[in-house]
Structure 1
Amino acid sequence: MVTQSTKTRLTQGVQHSRVLEEAAKILNSHGVSHTSLPKIATRVGVSRAALYHYFEDQEDLVFQSYRRTCEIMARWLSEAVHKGGSAIKIIESFVDGLLDESQPEFASLSEVAFLRTDQRSTISGLYEALWANLVTILRGGVERDELRPCNASIVAQAILGLVSWLPTAQRWRSSEPLSRQDMLDAIKEILIDGIAEDRNATVSYHSLDLSSNDVPIDHIFNAEALAAARQEALLASASWLFNLKGIDATSLEEIADRIGVTKKVIYHNVGDKETLVVECYRRAFRIYERLSQSLLAYDGSKIAAICAASHAVAAASIREDIAPLAPVAGFESLPDPVREQINASAVLLMERYLQVYADGQREGTVRQLHTRAIIAVYPAVFQWLPKWLDLLTPQDRSSAPHELAELLRVGLRAVRKRRRSPGTKRIQAK
């Protein structure tokens, strides 16, 4: 017999789950600072007092949301392993289960540093265990010749980055909207076989430079040039800390201390924190637009050009002096004019990348894919790197850009070598 107390507990459990689902949506769209208990209460349709039955405060709400994310991921990975099969089958099953359209949204782990030390330690431990399990699966797949040789530490982060990116990617405006299934399929395309038409071909490429231009020698006493250089250094430092810790967990005092100035200098050169975040977004898209121009002008095969661009952005994401701001969460909390400007830049970037992919398909180096979806989800493989740098050795960090470019090019499935017929040429970039 079901007692009244049991019914009450069941009802409370359902309501708790509903609150966490709603919290995940707001955290992903607006960030921590715009996710409050009163806002959650209004959206769920309960009193604010009722929420204090489940959460101590805003910090506890974020903590429980992040813990739920780790538990959901761990459950789906465990189920995928339990089903058995090759490493490819396990990864595919994990992605399918976690990102199925019927599944509720989970919160991206974008502001772990916002939490108290004990809470942060718990979430980091859960994430590290999940990452370590993926590393084990990948290494086992390589040993059994199911997967190509790869740096499992880097690829495991890429997998978690890709699945975490989907809730954010769906919120970006596109001239041609993508469905959740489109992006789910794109994630699996990248992870399994990559984008190259010929996975056996050898592709070499030269690196692209994403660093900002230094002040020319004849401008070292030019006040405007020096002011621009100071602002660039300030925005780079702020972007690095935002990527590392999250926007809400990073204070202006920390940014000022890191570059050896006072908060007044930041206010004078940029403005308040909201303005600083906006300028970091604008700077990131200026960097990406410069890269897209280099991509279009690349002297070599299109597959080599795409690898070069991927390598450059991944390298920039773990360089403190460049570090474009990664738009992980909270985009919808930006002012409307800024969102419009950034969306316009995102559409421009999409069109340029689509042109390069189409050219690659015509020349026979890029296979036929839903390229718009591939381009939309791929940024996730490098944008999550700064947040979990502690899990990577210095050697891992240095190999990450090449490893992630290879992931996009050929995926993870073992490459079966074939005998080259007479006259077959290797693809080389000039």
Structure 2
Amino acid sequence: MAKPGQKHEKHSAQARPGLAAKRASKREVALDQAARLFNERGIASTGIADVAAAMQVTRAALYYYFDERDDLVFQTYERACQIAAGDLEAADEDGGNGLQKTLAFARRALTPERTPVAVLSEVEHLKPAQRQIIARAAARNTRALRGFIERGVEDGSIRPCDAEAMAQTITGFVSWIQITPTWLNSQETEQRARDSVQVLELLRRGVGAPGVQVPPVHVDVNELRTHYDNLFDRDAAAAAKIETLLATASRLFGRRGIDGVSLDDITAELGATKGALYHYFEDKTDLVRGCYERAFDLYDAITARAEKLGQTGLEQTVIGVHLNTQAQAGSLSPLAPLAGLRGLPDDLRDSLNARATRISKRYEAMGRRGVKDGTLNIDDIQAAARSGAGLFAWIPKWRRENDALSARALGDEVVRLYVRGLAA
């Protein structure tokens, strides 16, 4: 709906093309800033006033382009889908085989000089009609990328693989690279460039040294699950209820985004009342804290299991990747690192930053061991450790409980990508 004076302004802009171009440019700048802030702070912690402040303009100046915050979110997400569609179209026009098209898309999407693009982690926050538009656009992009991979399998440039899983994993890498600086306190420009190079090398040839085989993984992540045997014990019963509540909330947050899930959604999923939830958690922020602390306890346990069981650097990292994939694809549902970390309370944000950094350092050590023992071929070990979560962090966004590919089978697919890449 036109705002007062807007219709006259648009008519004037038609007579003055320079003014129209300037306004289009200002909208693009606003969407760039919104994407950056949504990725860093989340939707709930970012409004039109925050974008205006980042641009050093008045909030009123942005109401020419956006009716409200929901409209800003929608336009930012829509633009992210349009950018991905443009990258796919350009990759297709480049010609070549399926592998070349796939890598051409990834290279464009991971361009370090590009302004950060919004990660589509809070689509459920949108109004139903807007949500449907974004979901359809994202699905079209995934189908196009899957088509490149299927073409590569047919023309022999890509090894046999599950094309859907590989397309979603590439999307996961692209998304994770957007938010890695926030989670690991890294320098955005320099380290994003290094991470992008490492991801492209992984997608092409993997990290396994020439001639190594993909080691089988027989460990089940459910071995790390806490069991509460004596439910007649009051403390054990309470702990079991908290675990069920956190697992359910984590699964919903992971799938729909923290801002896309209400406490009513969680209690409805559990078949419980809000009173039962408030018995254990003060509010939604306290619940999110519990979900992240539970997740990082599991990530620490997975890392320790990988360090203990792996006989080589390759085996250690493969076990870590496989168990993390199983966890995200199965019922454990640890809350994956999402957009919006800087919107959390300072103490929680600092704690998660520190824990994520420590885990990344432990995978760096595994990588150095693998290079030394000749099982890994990694040029930038630090970048490989930083970008590794992209292999599995996006899984909750696309995989459903009734998926034909089991959690362990998906783990095998992701590990093959990690070790061998896509190239046939």
State the TM-score, normalized to the length of structure 1. Answer: 0.90
Residue aligned with 1:164, SS:
helix
Aligned twin of 2:9? none
User: Which aligned pairs between 1:3-402 and structure 2 lie closer than 5 A?
Assistant: 4-173=15-184, 179-199=191-211, 201-210=213-222, 211-216=224-229, 219-298=230-309, 300-319=311-330, 321-389=331-399, 394-398=403-407, 399-402=409-412
Aligned twin of 2:3? none
Residue aligned with 1:409, SS:
helix
CA RMSD of aligned residues (A): 2.1
How far did 1:288 drift?
Answer: 0.3
2:415 to 405, 409, 418: 405
Q: Is the 8 A contact 1:231 1:269 kept in 2?
A: yes
Residue aligned with 2:156, SS:
coil
Number of equivalenced pairs: 409
Tell me the alpha carbon deviations over residues 111-143 of structure 1, each in whole angstroms, 9 at most, x when there is no partner: 011111111111111111111111111111111
Amino acid at match of 1:262: T
Structure 1 runs not aligned, ≥5 long: 415-430
Question: Structure 2 CA distance, aligned partners of 1:243 and 1:323?
Answer: 8
Q: What is the aligned-residue identity percentage? A: 31
Question: Structure 2 CA distance, aligned partners of 1:73 and 1:127?
Answer: 9
Q: Is the 8 A contact 2:153 2:159 kept in 1?
A: yes
Q: Is the 8 A contact 1:205 1:305 kept in 2?
A: no
Q: Is the 8 A contact 2:173 2:391 kept in 1?
A: yes
Q: Taking structure 1 as reference, are residues 393 and 84 closer, same or farther at Cα in structure 2, changes over 3 Å only? A: farther
Q: Is the 8 A contact 2:361 2:385 kept in 1?
A: no
How far did 1:362 drift?
Answer: 2.5
Question: Structure 2 CA distance, aligned partners of 1:384 and 1:116?
Answer: 23
How far did 1:299 drift?
Answer: 5.0
Q: Taking structure 1 as reference, are residues 3 and 346 closer, same or farther at Cα in structure 2, changes over 3 Å only? A: closer
Q: Is the 8 A contact 1:235 1:280 kept in 2?
A: yes
Tell me the alpha carbon deviations over residues 391-419 of structure 1, each in whole angstroms, 9 at most, x when there is no partner: x97223553221111111111011xxxxx
Q: Is the 8 A contact 2:217 2:322 kept in 1?
A: no
Q: Is the 8 A contact 2:45 2:343 kept in 1?
A: yes
How far did 1:382 drift?
Answer: 1.8
Q: Taking structure 1 as reference, are residues 35 and 176 closer, same or farther at Cα in structure 2, changes over 3 Å only? A: closer
Aligned twin of 2:7? none
Amino acid at match of 1:292: T
Q: Is the 8 A contact 1:361 1:367 kept in 2?
A: yes
Q: Taking structure 1 as reference, are residues 299 and 17 closer, same or farther at Cα in structure 2, changes over 3 Å only? A: closer
Question: Structure 2 CA distance, aligned partners of 1:249 and 1:201?
Answer: 42
Q: Taking structure 1 as reference, are residues 11 and 298 closer, same or farther at Cα in structure 2, changes over 3 Å only? A: same
Q: Is the 8 A contact 1:307 1:406 kept in 2?
A: no
Amino acid at match of 1:316: A
Residue aligned with 1:135, SS:
helix
How far did 1:99 drift?
Answer: 2.5
Q: Taking structure 1 as reference, are residues 43 and 351 closer, same or farther at Cα in structure 2, changes over 3 Å only? A: closer
Q: Is the 8 A contact 1:154 1:396 kept in 2?
A: no
How far did 1:326 drift?
Answer: 1.2
Question: Structure 2 CA distance, aligned partners of 1:97 and 1:176?
Answer: 20
Tell me the alpha carbon deviations over residues 310-334 of structure 1, each in whole angstroms, 9 at most, x when there is no partner: 1221121122x31111112000111
Q: Is the 8 A contact 1:199 1:410 kept in 2?
A: no
Q: Is the 8 A contact 1:208 1:309 kept in 2?
A: no
Higher mean alpha-carbon deviation, 302-311 vs 190-199, is at: 302-311
Residue aligned with 2:44, SS:
helix
